[in-house]
Structure 1
Amino acid sequence: MNEKELEILHLLEQNARMDIKTIAKLIDQTEEEVEAMLKKLEENRVIVTYATVVDWSKVNNHDGVTAMIDVKVTPQRGVGFDEVAERIHRFPEVKALYLVSGTYDLQVVIEGKTMSEIASFVSGKLSALDSVISTTTHFRLKTYKHDGVVFGDDDEDHRMMVSP
């Protein structure tokens, strides 16, 4: 991967809607060169998708629950954690799945309408897998920052000014 492709990736990480003309100007390349680099990055699945970060707490009537579930599993001979991870990521509730270091092996991020729905997923689907030894579920209460984006009403400091 060359330096210009890395620059494109950094720019798109900040703003996935940035147009090719702007990218070309910022990295001192032609629009055709940028288009070719983007096509290559997409074909090689370096760029997997273009995403939008949404503050769902500001959307009326959009209630839901997000849970992070730490999972301890028994790795399978010859495939390690990959086989159980593949089974877990197929569940439609699963929004993200990570292999992690520490006490647990996998971290599963799921979304549901209610805590009961999350509990049902954990007890009926996740814990029922043969390789799963134990789980610990954490519920997201508030988002302060996600994918590098700070959430909040504004950047104004509301603390009272104190002077000597």
Structure 2
Amino acid sequence: MDQLTHFNEEGRAKMVDVSDKDSTARKAVARTEVAMHPDTLQRIKAGQVSKGDVLAVAQVAGIMAAKNTSQWIPMCHPLLLTGVNISFTDNGVDTLTIEAEVKTSGKTGVEMEALTAVSATALTVYDMCKAMQKDMVIGPTMLITKSGGKNGDYRANHA
């Protein structure tokens, strides 16, 4: 098992030192789903939610979350992101799928930024639609792919 890098010699938490790592192009894609009643999904798609355009607001929330991930996750490095894209698809019945692609050129990866982006996007969908339906279910949330860095590429088996 690899040594845990977020602990110092005293066993206390630390932010990993990436000073000696090379800057490389890095990309991560994460995905989550929001399961809801068919009527809720149709109202989102038709723009008939009283709080406004759910997908537009959720998209901005996801981008903002990716940019601020280091404020949410204590040991996460603040990163200069070079791109964030949030996309939506649905199964035509009762599930909204959210994907985030996050890019940077730097010394550490953007997996946490992609995961944070889809999480905040899904939470915003929930917030904007909770008056219509409180039993929406968020998840599973997962990393789909990552590229760049010394550990190379990753693709989830369930992708």
TM norm. shorter chain > 0.5: no
TM-score by length of 2: 0.38
| Higher percent of residues as helix | 1
Q: Greater Rg, structure 1 or structure 2?
A: 1
Higher fraction of strand:
2
* Structure of higher RCO (CA pairs closer than 8 Å, 6+ residues apart): 2
Q: TM-score, normalised by structure 1?
A: 0.37
